[in-house]
Amino acid sequence: MAINHHVSAYVDLILSDMPEPRVIVDATLGNGRDTLKLMQRFPRARLYAFDIQKRALEISRQRLLSHGITEGFTFYCASHEAIPRFVDRPVDLCLFNLGYLPGGDKKVHTTPRKTIQGIEGALSILSPGGRILVTLYPGSLPGKIESIEVEAYVRGLDQKKTTVMSVAPLNQKNQPPYLLVLSPYQG
């Protein structure tokens, strides 16, 4: 597969190297582009998605319907720190694509505290070979603050319990998005 400087290529790279997930969580549904890609790529998976904006759920439902996808997903208008309350089975793949709803209110940005609580919750129900992918956007001030705090949190995770990787472009100008990959330690 082609490697380029888009963070979505890093996500594809990580996805291409994992067994087919059965349970997927999209922790930041937004306009539903990630959810659509995941459902097209893994049509047998069950997907649960979260967003605090009702509008995001409506747009995403419409996006899936327009691609003929009518089942296999459940959307919650809820904050991602509540993931373990809604998803009662082991999660194989969980995506956090941080920031604000593209085309929406930029002030409704993901926040460090809730993102960290969300990652903690997702880790608590991650299957043994599961992965959490977190896309960070340090190019804006709220995104920068969030990147610093989320990175500090994941750096502090016990290496005997969780493997944490960063996939970041090194020769791109400004402050490009990058990806964190978390997975239960497998020895």
Residues of this chain that interact with ligand SAM (CB under 6 A) are: 28-34, 50-53, 56, 79-80, 97, 99-101, 108, 110, 114
Choose between 34 and 92: whose C-beta lies nearer to ligand SAM.
Answer: 34
Residue nearer to ligand SAM on the CB measure, 125 or 163: 125
Question: C-beta of 153: minimal distance to ligand SAM in Å?
Answer: 15
**N- to C-terminal Cα separation, the chain:** 28
CB of residue 12 to ligand SAM, shortest distance in Å: 14
Whole-number Å distance between alpha carbons of 154 and 163: 9
| CB of 105 or CB of 185, closer to ligand SAM | 105
**Residue 84, Cβ neighbours under 10 Å: how many?**
15
Helices and strands in the chain: count of H runs, count of E runs: 6, 7
Residue 170: how many CA atoms within 13 Å on its side-chain side? 2
* Closer by beta carbon to ligand SAM, 45 or else 163: 45
Residue nearest to ligand SAM (CB): 30
Q: Are strands 126-136 and 178-184 parallel, antiparallel or unpaired?
A: antiparallel
Q: Based on CB atoms, which residue is closest to ligand SAM, 109 or 163?
A: 109
Distance from C-alpha of 64 to C-alpha of 75, rounded to nearest angstrom = 12
Shortest Cβ 120–ligand SAM spacing (Å): 13
Q: How far is the CB of 128 from ligand SAM (least distance, A)?
A: 26
Cα–Cα distances in Å, from 107 out to 52, 111, 142, 174? 13, 11, 9, 22
**Smallest distance, ligand SAM to C-beta of residue 136, A:** 11
